[in-house]
Amino acid sequence: MEEPHMHDGELSDGRSLSPKRAPNKGVKKSKTGESFSRMAPSEHLDEARRALADGYKLDESPAKTVWGRVGDARRHLKEIQPESSQYVAAQDLMHQTFLREKRIENLCINLANELMVKQREMLVSELEQYYVNRGLFIDIELSGPDKTFMKLMCSLFRETSIERIVDQTNFFAHLRKACFKRVVLSDNDENVWTYKLPQ
């Protein structure tokens, strides 16, 4: 019986051994490099408008607001020179871009502060538990801007014990890392020791 004739790269039933290639679909590429530098001022302006509008959605909560592609908008607007007829419109968009950037920056600062406050609160809880486990009864309070002031009160505090904490432990170094600015130690009577923690 005559064997079926096979071409290179084919199975006996005529199926191909070579991998299938996906159809060449057009891929939209962002304008970068040489194509970016060749863009006309009007094109830069249009791209900046598109970037600011891309997904832009205000929300009552700034953290949920979608700000658009602010960085891309700024990059295009910076290419529009004063001699261009699009310059005035570009400056108006640049102002909008600046306002969005400031809001994003403020949001980041506020979120960072909130996280640091929570970190300081957690540290106090851990300290209190640490002292309780060792039979020490020390009351700890947080106060000041963003809870950066710590007060520790214990009837057992004496000048010698305070000096040991300050000079022979890393206690204050750990508090600096958590961005505490002031520490007050009190023996619950008249004696108070206050320390500023330079950042």
So where are the chain's domains?
A: 39-111, 137-196
**Per-residue pLDDT reduced to its tens digit, 81-127:** 999 999 999 999 999 999 999 999 999 999 999 999 999 999 999 99
pLDDT band at 26 (very low <50, low <70, confident <90, very high): very low
68 contacts 55 by C-beta, under 8 angstroms? yes
Per the prediction, the chain carries an average pLDDT of 85
Distance CA 187, CA 77 (A): 62
What does the pLDDT look like over 140-161, one tens digit per residue?
999 999 999 999 999 989 888 8
| pLDDT tens digits, 62-80 | 888 999 999 999 999 999 9
Record the pTM.
Answer: 0.64
Adjacency order of strands within the sheet including 139-143: 139-143, 149-153, 182-186, 192-196
